[in-house]
Amino acid sequence: MGRVRGREFPDVTFGALIEGCGWVEHAWMEAGLPTCHWNGAPDGLATRRQLRELGLCPGGQPPVAALRRRPGGYLHAWLYRMDRAREKRSATPAVLRALGAAMRARRTCPTCGQDTGCCIPRSLGECWDCYLSAGDRIRAAHTNETPSTDTRIGAPA
């Protein structure tokens, strides 16, 4: 029976053998995986975010332990061995060019062909200027008026 901060956890036995770290007294086994308290990870293990800050990635290795606030509580992070982590892959020049072209296509209005500087809303399918001028043309066709030149939203017609 385990005890954490005065609470009894009958299904928890403290102390676990963690691959690459050895015996950890403050860990417990949960669902077949060693589990540590939050802020209680042993040396040599790191989360994905910590690996990323070091320029590393798990590299396909399975997690060797988990982090939780308390036994049976919400799972917060997987722990990976740092000695098996690999360097993060960097994008090749061809991939960067392809991403630049894709973002340029998302910023270019299909109606007027201008680069708007930001992604065009998919709900509109065109830049705001083209959308508003099309709305003016539609309203003018129904009311026999000339479209206004003021393209601000909510501007008087």
pLDDT tens-digit series, residues 144-155: 555 556 666 665
Q: How far apart are CA 55 and CA 52, in angstroms?
A: 5
Q: Is it the case that residue 74 has pLDDT exceeding 60?
A: yes
Q: Which H/E stretch holds residue 120? A: none
Distance of CA 52 to the CA centre of its chain: 13
Q: How far apart are CA 16 and CA 27, in angstroms?
A: 5
Q: How far apart are CA 20 and CA 51, in angstroms?
A: 16
Closest by Cα among 41, 9, 7 to 24: 41
Q: Residues 83-107: pLDDT tens digits?
A: 999 998 889 999 999 999 999 999 9
* Residue that the structure tokens 């988990």 belong to: 66
Q: How far apart are CA 128 and CA 130, in angstroms?
A: 6
| Residue 41, C-beta contacts closer than 8 angstroms, at least 6 positions apart | 47, 65, 67, 79
| Residue 116, C-beta contacts closer than 8 angstroms, at least 6 positions apart | 107, 108, 109, 127
Residue 144: predicted pLDDT: 59
Q: Residues 17-27: pLDDT tens digits?
A: 777 777 776 77
Residue 67: predicted pLDDT: 86
Q: pTM of the entire structure? A: 0.55
